[in-house]
Amino acid sequence: MSRKVIIAGNWKMNKTAAEGRELVEALKAELTCSCYDQLDIVVCPPFTTIGAVVEAARGSRIKVGAQNIHWAANGAFTGEISADMLKTAGVEYVIIGHSERRQYFGETDATVNSRLKAAIAAGLKPIVCIGELLEEREGGLTEKVLTTQIRGGFDGISGEKMAEVVVAYEPVWAIGTGKTATPDIAQETHAHIRKELAAMFGEEVAAKVRIQYGGSMKADNARELVAQPDIDGGLIGGAALKADSFVALINEAMGK
Ligand code: PGA
């Protein structure tokens, strides 16, 4: 089963519209070779930067994602953004349940599930984040935590839709810390995730789901991580904020 590698940049709360446009222009100038069609390249700017980035990315191989979505279609939800609003703004992907949202904004597997259903219903491509805390890894709870996140987060999704969902495995202890899971640890954990997906949706669906690694991924480690059989790309924070580091990482992930 060959799955298309997907490299997504999560810009988090960084980049004004002008800065976002500048970064996309720099990426476009670097990513001209048709060889880059072998993988999906996504950038996920903050909401206020999406318009400028969609415009700058139009007609290029760079796809645009958002960092969150609300489950309701509209209404009295101050500060939230709906699936339709994202679709209309030209967004294709959406990150759901990032660990920073779980840690700082009360996101749970139940809210992840609601957001995922809204994204799927609107035809957005979800990138659903899961991952364990350091104390959970040290306490031998990693597989249990991931299984709970998978069962709760993906509850009620059809196999057909699940096959198109991207899962981002991001060990929380590796995010922004410079500590990366070794390729062996990451592979072992990705294999567990795929096994859980197979238990829930069947082998055929599980074999189609793309599972990205996230957490201090950079040019130095991308090649070895993406070479693992169950690692289908990366969700990148820090290294996605500059064109040179993001392009270098993409090249390594492609084995270029
Ligand atoms: P990082 O962030 O690459 O800066 O560790 C990854 C993420 O949080 O998605």
Q: For position 162, what pLDDT does the model report? A: 98
CB 71 within 8 A of CB 118: yes
CB of 62 closer than 8 Å to CB of 28: yes
**Ligand 1 pocket member 175 (CB < 6 A):** yes
The count of other CB atoms within 10 Å of the CB of residue 188 is 15
Q: Which residues contact 132 (CB under 8 A, 6 or more apart)?
A: 141, 142, 145, 146, 171, 172, 173
Tens-digit pLDDT profile for residues 171-216: 999 998 888 889 999 999 999 999 999 999 999 999 999 999 999 9
Residue 234's pLDDT band, with cuts at 50, 70 and 90, is very high
Ligand 1 geometric centre to CA of 38 (Å): 23
| The one catalytic residue among 107, 170, 196, 252 | 170
Taking only the tens place, the pLDDT of each residue in 39-76 is 999 999 999 999 999 999 999 999 999 999 999 999 99
pLDDT of residue 134: 93
Cβ–ligand 1 contact at 215 (below 6 Å): yes
Mean pLDDT of the chain: 97
pLDDT for the residue numbered 1: 58
Give residue 121 CA to ligand 1 midpoint distance, Å. 27
pLDDT of residue 201: 98
Residue 128: name the closest of 91, 184, 169 by CA: 169
- The pTM of the whole model exceeds 0.85: yes
Region 116-124: mean pLDDT is 98
Alpha carbon of 217 to ligand 1 centroid (Å): 7
Q: Does the pLDDT of residue 4 top 80, yes or no?
A: yes
Active-site residue identified among 98, 107, 136, 190: 98
* Strand duo 233-236 + 93-96: pairing: unpaired
